[in-house]
Amino acid sequence: MNRMARIPTRGTRPERLLVDAVRRVYDGPLLTNVAGLPGTPDVVLPEKRVILAALGCFWHWHPADGCPIAHLPPIGPTGFDWTRKLATNRQRDARNRTELIAKGYRVAWCWECALIGRAARCQADIDAQVAEFIGGPATSIEIAG
């Protein structure tokens, strides 16, 4: 955790949108892509013990929660079992969140569908939820489209 306020030059569009939202509502120290913590969290606010992660809806299997934009592909000719693969990703995410909370962090998951696409929330809504989480007592939240 030593890359203070680094401006991310890589990362997905949802990650960049989430960092932008955090920056609009919080001007303290902000770390990105922190490799020393479970899951290499996208955003860590060390003074707040807050972690925020942007989750791609397909790869993190948001369809299991009724995602408005992502759907599982049909089983292709190779017979590749996406459900099994993506369920493994989801279990890993949940385990990482549990470990982070055990380390004293509060964790917000911001799903891709809240940030981009036809079900995206407006910027003011995202900012308000992020600000409320950073300042509030909740242990974990999920922001979805």
Two tokens, residue 102: 């055990």
Select the residue interacting with Zn ion from 31, 67, 100, 110 (CB under 5 A): 67
Count residues near Zn ion (CB under 5 A): 5
Q: Is 113 in the site for Zn ion (CB under 5 A)?
A: yes
Can you tell me the distance from the alpha carbon of 20 to that of 132, in angstroms, rounded to the nearest whole number?
16
Select the residue interacting with Zn ion from 26, 41, 44, 62 (CB under 5 A): 62
**Pick 31 or 42: Cβ nearer Zn ion:** 42
Select the residue interacting with Zn ion from 26, 61, 105, 111 (CB under 5 A): 111
Distances 103 to 3, 70, 122 between C-alpha atoms, Å: 20, 31, 32
Select the residue interacting with Zn ion from 57, 110, 115, 126 (CB under 5 A): 57
Q: Is 60 in the site for Zn ion (CB under 5 A)?
A: no
Distances 72 to 62, 67, 116, 118, 126 between C-alpha atoms, Å: 10, 10, 18, 18, 26
Q: Which residues bind Zn ion (CB under 5 A)?
A: 57, 62, 67, 111, 113
